[in-house]
Amino acid sequence: MHIIEIENLKKNFGEITAVDGISLNVLKGEMFGLVGPDGAGKTTTIKILCGLLNPNDGNVKLLGKDLSRNVAEIQKKIGYLSQKFSLYGDLTVDENIEFIAEIHNVSGFEQRRDELLEFTRLKPFRNRLADKLSGGMKQKLALACALIHRPEIIFLDEPTTGVDPVSRRDFWKILSNLQKEGITIFMTTPYLDEAERCNRVALMNKGKIIAFDTPQDIKQSIDLEVVEIVCQPIRTAYRLLKNFPEYDVQIFGDRINVLVNNFENDFVKIKSVLESGNVKITDYRKVTPSLENVFIHLIK
């Protein structure tokens, strides 16, 4: 069952096209990732799905109902965690959850609040002011507030941006447990390693969807192999290989990834090019294409 259906969605801000005719669907109970760089149109899309922005064109259905005709009813059944922490810094953890519960007319919320505090490991900090929480704790509090009314769909806009690695790992454990409870998760992220955890993803760039499938199928779709090369000087290697249009060259820290048709045949030429330019190869191997490899390849 498709719990979210988007057809030819468009949104303009003056002459700027933020969302350019995208179509996709999300299955009930799925963890879905909308992935792309800043400015791709992710936040605009998620705000439209939450009924916070009106599109210029296109159709959106949530929970089987037309969003434009049933905004108030649908909003009661969804949760939203915005990109920016938007709760009240001068209220405690408990008070923030209580306030949001009252907005949603949730009666007898105390047991649910205790469950969420236990779930997010915030129970020892329930009397701490929100302003005094770390970045990771603030995101957990925002998530607890978004879940207090037991939504069927939770929308998360870049929930782990600016969060430390330990808190990010905890956050993903929480999301995994939410999915086990049957909650549909729709999240945006600029992190392609996070997208690997989703059931399906849509890669978005400049307002358009450029790939939409499971992470595994997207990685296989380009039908290329990746040569990972550790070498010095790396910038020289990059410039040399960029002269060959048949190779897609990508640089990641201290190594270069080259997308090729055939590892055995192409590496012979690559090695010759680098050695002729006085580049020393210290290690190389054939690796499985990552989502990052595919995304960079597609936007080129």
CA-CA distances (angstroms) from residue 188 to 154, 185, 202, 262?
11, 10, 10, 34
- For residue 235, the SS3 value is helix
132-177 tens-digit pLDDT: 988 888 888 988 888 888 899 999 998 887 777 887 888 888 888 8
178-227 tens-digit pLDDT: 898 899 999 999 888 889 899 999 999 999 999 999 999 999 888 899 99
What CATH number belongs to 2-219?
3.40.50.300
Domain residue ranges in the chain = 2-219, 222-299
AA identity, residue 117: L
d(CA 178, CA 34): 18
On average, the pLDDT of the chain sits at 91
**Domain spanning 222-299: which superfamily?**
Reverse transcriptase/Diguanylate cyclase domain (3.30.70.270)
d(CA 171, CA 154): 14
Q: Which of 104, 105, 5, 84 is nearest to 48 (CA)?
A: 5
